[in-house]
Amino acid sequence: MTKIIERNIYQNLKKHLKEKEITVLIGPRQTGKTTLILELYKELKAENPDKIFYFNLDRLKDLSFFFSQEEVIKFISSRIQKGKKNKIYLFVDEAQRIENAGRFFKGIYDLGLPVKLVLTGSSPLDIKDKMQESLAGRKKVFRLFTLSFSEFLKYKDKTLFQLLNQEKISNFDKNAILDFLKEFVIWGGYPAVVTENNPNKKREMLEEIYNSYVEKDAISFLKIKKPLVFRKLLQLLVFQIGQIANTNELSSSLNIENRTTEYYLDVLRETFIVKSIPPFFSNPRKELVKASKIYLLDNGLMNLAKDSFKSFDDRVDKGALLENFVASELSKDALSRKLRYWRTLHGAEVDFVIERSSGPIPIEVKTQIKKRTLGKSFVNFLSDYKTQDAFFINLSKKDKFKFKNTYIHFIYPFQIQKILKKI
């Protein structure tokens, strides 16, 4: 029997099935949306088989049924027993394939029928374009990304997973978790890649995932006319992880206009391939206020673009791999809108800053730390911004001490939850 990957979002989705709002699940291709929805469908089906229905609009037979809104309404109405409290559940996979999908489901929702609509879409821009406006105030959107490290570890080793949030663990267990983390920062969190053990097949899967994304999203839907240039842009970005993205330089390297580069970057952002992190500032005269840094939301795609899957210990770009991992993990959390970086006009910088009302949380990422050394840039930030906690994510040292009025936490990369608890 195939081992199921448990997703953190599952219980939130299940809980929302009780709400009247339409449940909408979106995210990149191949992140497990269909698997997740089918799990929910089967669980409900076992309890009440006559009221639960699943349609996959990649199948022509199912898609043809949704050509007529009137037919769908008749289908729902015929299964409602008058005088009894009951609800019909319609799970619709790849819902954006319906023409004018937003208006289609708005019309059904506004009839007030006892029906719960659960919709998924593989192309976030499809959903945004066809559904967002029409379903305003009628839906709750959930986003499914590639696996987080905690989901990955729970699948790989539940015993180690249970140790993640413990204050004290043995060096043996710590090193075992770090070994899994090193695997994760190379291959990323696409479910099919995680469950495959053969490195050559893993690489083939990542190539197939990316090619499918380009063909179905970038070329077919978003009308990217230069797919080779589009791919070249991604390659340029992965070699600039942690650096500020300069549109003029990228355009010059690609030999295209700035507006084309900006459109391609928008496509990568809106389809959850990359994440732009804007600057944190309070003094425009001293700090950067506009330029963003760009990270990939999956380390596996990052290494595909770099054309390198050497083991972490053999890599010369360990710092970039680890920094991208941290950006990805923080971006997959609900606080992604609060994620920033800090840089002054004189070049002082902190890798990440999380905004919060009680004061920002600065985060620095280092592969190795030997002493309680903060660095001049970090000290400058602490001088300018009063904050209770600051974090150094690293592979070698766990520690906690006080610097002036700030608690400095040296934590391992798998302990990011410690940061989230401070929000």
- pLDDT tens figures, 102-130: 889 999 999 999 999 999 986 555 555 55
Mean pLDDT of the chain: 90
Percentage above 70 pLDDT, the chain: 95
Q: What is the pLDDT of residue 290?
A: 83
Q: Read off the pLDDT of each residue in 394-418 and give the average, rounded to a whole number.
A: 92
| pLDDT higher than 80, residue 377 | yes
Q: Which residue has the higher pLDDT, 206 or 134?
A: 206
| pLDDT higher than 80, residue 386 | yes
Query: Phi and psi dihedrals of 55, rounded to 5?
Result: -130, 130
Q: What is the pLDDT of residue 332?
A: 85
| pLDDT higher than 80, residue 410 | yes
Q: What is the pLDDT of residue 79?
A: 87
Distance of alpha carbon 204 from alpha carbon 193, whole angstroms: 9
Q: 3-state secondary structure string, 63-81?
A: HHHCCCHHHHHHHHHCCCC
Q: What is the pLDDT of residues 49-79, one digit of tens each?
A: 889 999 999 899 999 999 999 999 999 999 8
User: How many other CB atoms are found less than 10 A from the CB of residue 49?
Assistant: 8
Q: Read off the pLDDT of each residue in 359-370 and give the average, rounded to a whole number.
A: 92
User: How many other CB atoms are found less than 10 A from the CB of residue 225?
Assistant: 10
Which strands make up the sheet holding 22-26, listed edge to edge? 52-56, 88-93, 115-121, 22-26, 139-143
Q: What is the pLDDT of residue 224?
A: 83
- What pTM does this model have? 0.92
The superfamily in CATH containing domain 10-143 is P-loop containing nucleotide triphosphate hydrolases (3.40.50.300)
Q: Of 375, 363, 378, nearest to 416 (Cα)?
A: 363
| pLDDT higher than 70, residue 100 | yes
**Cβ neighbours of residue 111 closer than 8 Å, sequence gap 6 or more:** 73
- Every domain of the chain and the residues it spans: 10-143, 149-420
Q: HSE (CB half, 13 Å, CA atoms) of 191?
A: 18
Q: What is the pLDDT of residues 279-336, one digit of tens each?
A: 998 888 887 888 899 999 999 999 999 999 999 999 999 999 999 999 999 998 766 6
Query: Phi and psi dihedrals of 139, rounded to 5?
Result: -140, 160
- Within the chain, what is the greatest distance between any pair of CA atoms? 72
Q: What is the pLDDT of residue 85?
A: 67
Q: What is the pLDDT of residue 286?
A: 83
pLDDT band for position 84 (cuts 50, 70, 90): low
Q: What is the pLDDT of residue 37?
A: 94
| pLDDT higher than 80, residue 218 | no
**Contact status, residue 115 vs residue 121, Cβ threshold 8 Å:** no
Q: What is the pLDDT of residues 1-41, one digit of tens each?
A: 567 899 999 999 999 999 999 999 988 889 999 999 999 99
Q: For residue 140, give the amino acid letter.
A: K
Q: What is the pLDDT of residue 258?
A: 92
Distance of alpha carbon 257 from alpha carbon 248, whole angstroms: 9
Please report how the helices 258-270 and 227-238 are oriented relative to each other, as an axis angle in degrees rounded to 10. 80
Q: What is the pLDDT of residue 336?
A: 66
Q: What is the pLDDT of residue 2?
A: 62
The pairing of strands 349-354 and 115-121 is: unpaired
Q: What is the pLDDT of residue 418?
A: 86
Q: What is the pLDDT of residue 270?
A: 83
Beta strands per DSSP E along 8-129: 22-26, 52-56, 88-93, 115-121
Q: What is the pLDDT of residue 417?
A: 86
Q: Of 394, 294, 409, 284, nearest to 343 (Cα)?
A: 284
